[in-house]
Structure 1
Amino acid sequence: MITLVGLGPGDPGLITRAAWEMISAARVLYLRTAVHPTVAALPPSVVVRAFDDLYEQAERFDEVYERIADELIARARGGEAVVYATPGDPLTAEATSRHLLRRARAQGVPARVVPGVSFVEPVCALLGVDPLEHGLQLLDALDLMVGDTTVDAPSWASLHGFTYTPPLLPFPLTPTRPALICQVYSRSVASHVKLSLLERYPVDHLVTLVRAAGVVDAEAAVELPLHTLDHRNDFDHLTSLFVPPLTPLADLRGPDGVAYVVARLLGPGGCPWDREQTPQSLRASLLEEVHEALEALDAGNDEALVEELGDVLINVLMLSEMARQAERFDAGEVFNAVAGKLIRRHPHVFGELDVAASDQVLHNWEAIKRAEHATKGVSRQSALDGIPPSLPALAAAQKVVSKAARAGFDAPEIDHAWDALAEELAELRAVTTDPAQAEAELGDLLLAVARLGWRLDVDAESALRAAVARFRRRFARLETLLNGRDLRSLSIDEKLALWERARDDG
């Protein structure tokens, strides 16, 4: 039999009577750590053996847990009545206990838990917090530390010249509920906790650092702004962090906060203008915001891109909330649809499929799409079906030629695309007086340009937008070089000279 008991939060008076009787009757008391105030008050007749040395020998905490579990189970299987004591309550923020119980059950070794007083009760008493009033969340500080960044496999960052840092996903806290984070035992851990919390909380959010809660004449609570959390040096194994909840209107760095704002705007007492909109009236807004996001992207303006992507998101959430109120669908179904699609269409990431290159990824993507359409009873008559008619013409042209090529309608050599471009240009030059024919030939030329762009792996729509933006910048510089002259009065040679000067200026 293995019996797990708790030593309480630190004051010997908070050890339960059942735990004290079990400890007093033990021949040997095994401790995860002897670094705990209660240890000095244990009965002198009890032989104490702590596992602190394992923390110095092992490279990972998991390895420590395994070695503690292996030794205790081996002793129990040898006939010893094992009593294992942990700080606080054996099952509250105690990874070794969870590991030990799983291993004991798997090997058929009887185990029982004698509940104790955890660190939660004295922390709540010190702060005057009812853990059930607002749904207190409990979290180990180590759960707020990002994973290992030394990964051999490529990431987007590594392929584009950046250093990869993994995200903390899913974020382990709901910011609109209070949280108590334990095991903030060092300044380094506090720094990791601070950086992770800053992903969702304001920099000046007031948090409370709690030390030695439940230990007479030692407990203390200090309120401080989140961004200063790791500016201190008084961390130890009895240090916890209380994070008060954000109001929904302050939870602005996560999807729930903006979704709440949109729901309020469209709800009772919301914005009259927003409530008057319809999904169709938002169509123009959605298109406009996407184009503004593209403009910011082309300009390389991160500040503008952040704002414009937010505007696109507003439209997505507005449409989803309107649909929810109309009992058609909600944002959860939108998230579910897109997440499920990404998982299904990336079996090489979320499944067992191996792929050698990106072209194979695209081939698998198209095959999975066809299977999905067949499941839904959607039958596409042509390989060119599924292109939105609202796409800009140049983008639609490139989409058409790429789909046709994937269906097998394309020459393997890029020279064919160059020859087709030259041929279409010659045909356009040959047109004289027929406007309809000129329009047709110009359309063929633009289609040939889109095809060549696809073969060169260049997005024709983005390339043209960038060219127009360059033209506008240079033309503005040309206008400054006129010095009051009328552009129409200049000769072609003078105009070209000014244009060259404008180009030389950048």
Structure 2
Amino acid sequence: MTHSITIVGLGAGELDQLPLGIYKLLKQAGRIYARTVEHPAVTELREEGVQFISLDHIYEKHDQFAEVYEEIADELEAAAAAEKQVVYAVPGHPIIAEKTVQILIDRGVSSELEVRIAGGHSFLDSLLTAVEIDPIDGFQFLDGTALMKEDINIFQHLIIAQVYDSFVASEVKLTLMEKYPDEHAVYMVTAAGSAAQTVKKVPLYELDHQVELNNLTSLYVPPIKQEEHTYREFSVLRQIIAKLRSPQGCPWDREQTHESLKKYLIEESYELLDAIDRQNDEDIVEELGDVLLQVLLHAQIGEDEGMFSIEDVVASLAEKMVRRHPHVFGETDVRSAQEVMANWQAIKQQEKGEKDHFHLDEVEKGLPALLRAYELQRKAAKAGFDWDEAQGAIHKAEEEWQEFLAEVTSGNSNRQLEEFGDVLFSFVNVARFYSIHPEEALAKANEKFCRRFSHVEKRVKASGRAFQEFTLSELDAFWEEAKKTER
């Protein structure tokens, strides 16, 4: 035999706000379970003899709202099973900002529990009236107890419900301050539409100070105007790139193609690596932006040509990250970074299907030679073509060096070029055994050379003499000075 829960909404204020049918249902119910009795309509109904069973005590038992809502649903379901029919009252309207109602509806789908929504007066109408906004301009309605900055559109009206204590207000403030200026005006609206309605305007940074909060409090955040702060929004950056590529945009940007931009992506990537090596956060931010610019330009070209958009790029990446991290988004267990990499490669192989596959095909031909040598060796090593230990790679490097020296004496320039390439390739192999990235090592060597040669040049200029007037031995002495200074 089925059992049922009838859910009614108490509105946002006094009994005068309730529809007549809801008022009659509440009067005839006998006794009513209430998510909270801290509500003006409950006070008036009690005076008229209606009995309420408060569920407020459950809030005090848990630190997480999710646990509170689940226990409330458990208690109501148990009551329905025992009493066959119960009435459950919530503030506002049952299907607006009521997590317990959604939990009960979900449970009713897969059980004998019948959930009936009797209706009620939504506080949204009264709240929109209180702050005098038209939702046709676009608005969002979010839960203050589960607010995520990624969900916020700063260009629309924003209403945040369930901002009912200082803790929630503080968390909401911190989240909003990641998107809005600290001084942005916000409005705390309490008991909208009732005789006790209050609307208080405060700067965002004072949201959790000097404001009375209760179960009937919501927050209204006006849309932000087009100003410098909006540059933090990804959508604004995308619009800027689109305009640069538009007929009214920049002639240079309009002329670019995937092919013409290739060199800039390489240049910006190296400038980012340099900023990382210098551990300069400000420069890292700037250089990451330059790399992102290249990504957005390529995506905009794809969109202009009707081939793909930035959403396709984002979706492809997101799907791949989820697919290749089953230990995070699935049930796979891993115990080390090595196991993660092994799973990654296995998943990549599955994605490629059963067609003929050659390990070195995965290494991009457009990579700089040093980077390509490193990647080729890594791929070969994963296939099992590798020295057992570093000593084998070292012996091979020594052997290649001797072969190069032999060609030096031969005078054959083509053979010298080939053997010197073998030397470089063998040294890359040695670096790999010691977890040294050759590109990073060479970049550091370049910087070190620049520092020391700059010292030599400064010493020469300070002498008033020309470079050519110094012997190599004298210049080398300046070089040694630079080395000592570094130490």
The two structures have a TM-score, normalised by structure 2, of: 0.90
Q: Does 1:134 align with 2:110?
A: no
- For residues 370 and 107 of structure 1, the distance between their equivalents in structure 2, rounded to whole angstroms, comes to 43
Structure 2 match to 1:89: 93
Change (3 A) 1:329 1:69: closer
Question: Structure 1 residues 57 and 230 mapped into 2: Cα distance closer, same or farther (>3 Å)?
Answer: closer
CA shift at 1:21, angstroms?
0.8
Match in the other structure for 1:160: none
How far off its partner does 1:416 sit? 0.8
The code of the aligned residue for 2:431 comes to G
Does the 8 A contact of 1:143 with 1:172 survive in 2?
Answer: no
Give the aligned partner of residue 502 of structure 1: 482
Unpaired segments of 5 or more residues in structure 1? 146-167
2:405 corresponds to: 429
311-320 or 269-278, which moves further after superposition? 269-278
Residues 371, 45 of structure 1: CA spacing in aligned structure 2 closer, same or farther, 3 A cutoff?
closer
Deviation sequence 1:131-158 (CA, Å, 0-9, x none): 2x1332111111126xxxxxxxxxxxxx
Contact residue 212 and residue 220 of structure 1 kept, 8 A: no
Q: 2:382 aligns with which of 392, 403, 406?
A: 406
Q: Deviations over 1:463-497 (max 9, x none)?
A: 11121112212222332333234444334443333
Equivalent of residue 430 in structure 2, options 440, 443, 452: 452
Does residue 109 of the first structure (1) align with residue 109 of the second (2)?
Answer: no
Assess if the C-alpha contact under 8 Å between 1:3 and 1:82 holds in 2.
yes
Of residues 5, 10, 19, the one that matches 1:7 is 10
The structural deviation recorded for 1:415 is 0.8
d(CA) in 2 for partners of 1:248 and 1:385? 48
2:447 to 469, 477, 483: 469
Tell me, what secondary structure is at the counterpart of 1:49? strand
- Residues 310-357 of structure 1 show CA distances to partners (whole Å, capped at 9, x for unaligned) of 122122112212221211222222222222222333333333333343
- Retained in 2: the 8 A contact 1:478–1:498? yes
Q: Which amino acid aligns with 2:188?
A: L
Q: SS of the counterpart of 1:303?
A: helix
Comparing 387-396 and 63-72, the one that deviates more = 63-72
Offset, 1:395: 0.8
- Do the aligned partners of 2:164 and 2:215 also contact (CA within 8 Å) in 1? yes
Contact 1:248 1:260 in 2 (8 A): no
The 3-state SS of whatever aligns with 2:361 is: coil
Distance in 1 separating the partners of 2:279 and 2:386: 34
The residue identity in structure 2 corresponding to 1:129 is I
Percent identity between the two aligned chains: 39
Match of 1:391 among 367, 371, 384: 367
Shift of 1:217: 4.3
Contact 1:73–1:104 (CA under 8 A) maintained in structure 2: no
Q: Is the 8 A contact 1:425 1:445 kept in 2?
A: yes
Partner SS state of residue 384, structure 1:
helix
1:349 match: 328
SS at match of 1:439: helix
Corresponding position: 1:61 with 2:65: yes
Match of residue 33 from structure 1: 36
User: Once the 2 structures are TM-superposed, how far is the Cα of residue 223 of structure 1 from its aligned partner?
Assistant: 4.4
Say whether residues 1:244 and 2:206 are aligned partners: no
What secondary structure is seen at the aligned counterpart in 1 of 2:88? strand
Once the two structures are superposed, the pairs formed by residues 6-405 of structure 1 within 5 Å of their partners are: 6-42=9-45, 43-79=47-83, 81-131=85-135, 133-144=136-147, 171-224=150-203, 226-246=204-224, 251-374=230-353, 379-380=356-357, 382-405=358-381
Q: Secondary structure, in 3 states, of the residue corresponding to 2:362? A: coil
- Please state whether the residue corresponding to 1:281 is helix, strand or coil: helix
- Cα distance in 2 for residues equivalent to 1:452 and 1:127: 69
Gaps of 5+ in 2: none
Name the aligned partner's letter for residue 297 of structure 2: M
Structure 2 CA distance, aligned partners of 1:298 and 1:313? 19
SS of residue paired to 1:424? helix
The C-alpha deviation readout for 1:225-256, integer Å capped at 9, x for no partner, is x3443344433332222223346776433432
Check conservation: 1:91, 1:98, Cα contact below 8 A: yes
- Cα distance change on mapping 1:263 and 1:307 into 2, 3 Å: same
Amino acid at match of 1:8: G
User: Partner amino acid for 1:76?
Assistant: A
Q: Which sits farther off after the overlay, 243-252 or 53-62?
A: 243-252
C-alpha change, 1:228 and 1:271, in structure 2 (3 Å) is farther
Deviation per residue, 1:280-337 (Å, 9 max, x gap): 2222222222222222222222211211211221221122122212112222222222
Larger mean Cα displacement after TM superposition, 96-105 or 391-400:
96-105
Aligned to 1:154: none
Aligned length, in residue pairs: 477
Secondary structure in 1 matching 2:116 = strand
CA shift for structure 1 position 105 = 4.6
Query: Which of 391, 395, 398 is the matching residue for 1:415?
Result: 391
TM-score (norm 1): 0.87
Following superposition, the deviation at residue 390 of structure 1 comes to 2.1
Residues 65 and 100 of structure 1 are in contact (CA less than 8 Å); yes or no, is this contact kept in structure 2? no
Change in Cα spacing, 1:84 to 1:363, as seen in structure 2 (3 Å) is closer
Give the direction of change, closer, same or farther, for the CA distance of 1:96–1:363 in structure 2 (3 Å limit).
Answer: closer
Partner of residue 489 from structure 1, selected from 469, 473, 477 = 469
2:300, 2:310 within 8 Å by CA — same for their partners in 1?
Answer: yes
| Secondary structure of 1:196's aligned partner | helix
Q: Deviations over 1:356-407 (max 9, x none)?
A: 43334333333333333336x5x44x42223222211111111111111112
Once the 2 structures are TM-superposed, how far is the Cα of residue 93 of structure 1 from its aligned partner? 0.9
Which structure has more helix as a fraction of its residues? Answer: 2
> Contact 1:201–1:253 (CA<8 Å) still a contact in 2?
no
Matched residues in 2 for 1:465 and 1:139: separation?
49
